Amino acid sequence: MRARDLMRTLTPLGWLTLMAGLLLLILVGRGAGLKWDPFGLQEKRLDAARAEATHATRAADVRRIETVGEAQQAARVEDHHRQTLAVERATVAAVTRARSAEDANNLLEPMRADRLRAHDRELCRLAPDLDGCAAAPESA
């Protein structure tokens, strides 16, 4: 009953003074470093921020790894194209020399066999991992 009596006895000016006092008390408490978080919202916000930071770090790591992988793949593709062009040039030169040679229509003779072996050596130099090259691994 005392709360009811208090409500009846306070005038509007009394209520205003009571509210101003509570507000002043809250402000002084905040200034002194006191925090009131009855629902733990601060901790929930902190956990959410930590989870978001962890997610962002992982996403940045993934993007960095993807970028490195793309650069390595581009380098491998460039090497492959360079190697393909070199093989094409060597093959065109060998075919041109073979067709314009005096013995182009004759049966295989030693000079012609030497040209073919030279071309094979050039291919093995450009791609030593091909089957039949000296550096090629033995097939099981």
The answer to whether position 120 is within a domain reads no
The answer to whether position 15 is within a domain reads yes
For residue 7, what are the domain limits?
1-36
SS3 131: coil
Q: Residue 75 is inside which H or E element, if any? A: helix 41-100
Going by the DSSP 8-state scheme, the letter that residue 130 receives in this structure is S
pLDDT level of residue 12 (50, 70, 90 thresholds): confident
The answer to whether position 74 is within a domain reads no
pTM: 0.46
- Helix, strand and coil content of the chain, in percent to the nearest 5, comes to 75, 0, 25
Tally of structural domains, the chain: 1
The answer to whether position 135 is within a domain reads no
> Looking at residue 81, what is its pLDDT?
94
The answer to whether position 49 is within a domain reads no
User: 68-100, pLDDT tens digit by residue?
Assistant: 999 999 999 999 999 989 988 988 888 888 888
The answer to whether position 20 is within a domain reads yes
The answer to whether position 90 is within a domain reads no
**Between 96 and 34, residue with greater pLDDT:** 96
The answer to whether position 27 is within a domain reads yes
